[in-house]
Amino acid sequence: MNAARRLSMVTPCSAGGSLAKLLDGGGRVDFPTVTDLCERIQGDSTQMLGVAKVLAQSLDSGGRIIQLKALTIAHELLYDSDARQALLFEPGLVRALESIRGAKEDCPAEETVQLLTSEILRRLEPETICEL
């Protein structure tokens, strides 16, 4: 999915819009960036849903580098129960994760992609969510 389409799914100045620009613009997904995004959406269900939507689309149609960035952010969001619920109920996100897990590629980041994918899927299982 191209940047314009991903950005059209969310308000440009929203957290989802910022995330779409970050993922599609080749921005760095480092600790301060991820922390800022998580703080920005904390307690704001509308922002969380927008971020979950962008992550689902990026995981479904992005290349491995974009997927790795999206997985890194999704993994960090697992620490927030509301964000975890938004990820779980975003249509297509779990399917995209299962697709990534089943389609191994020959790239330097593949081991990390598979590790993050497995961990996110494990943490999004309904029993796991109830335990957390």
Beta carbons within 10 angstroms of residue 78's beta carbon:
18
Burial 65-76 (b: 16+ CB within 10 A, else e): ebbbbbbbbbbb
Q: What is the pLDDT of residues 106-125, one digit of tens each?
A: 888 899 999 999 999 999 98
Q: What is the pLDDT along the chain (132 residues), one digit of tens a residue?
A: 454 554 445 565 789 999 999 998 888 899 999 999 999 999 999 999 999 999 999 999 889 999 999 999 999 999 999 999 999 999 999 999 999 998 888 888 899 999 999 999 999 987 555 555
What is the pTM for the complete model shown? Answer: 0.85
Question: Cα–Cα distances in Å, from 99 out to 9, 113, 114, 125, 128?
Answer: 22, 12, 11, 16, 21
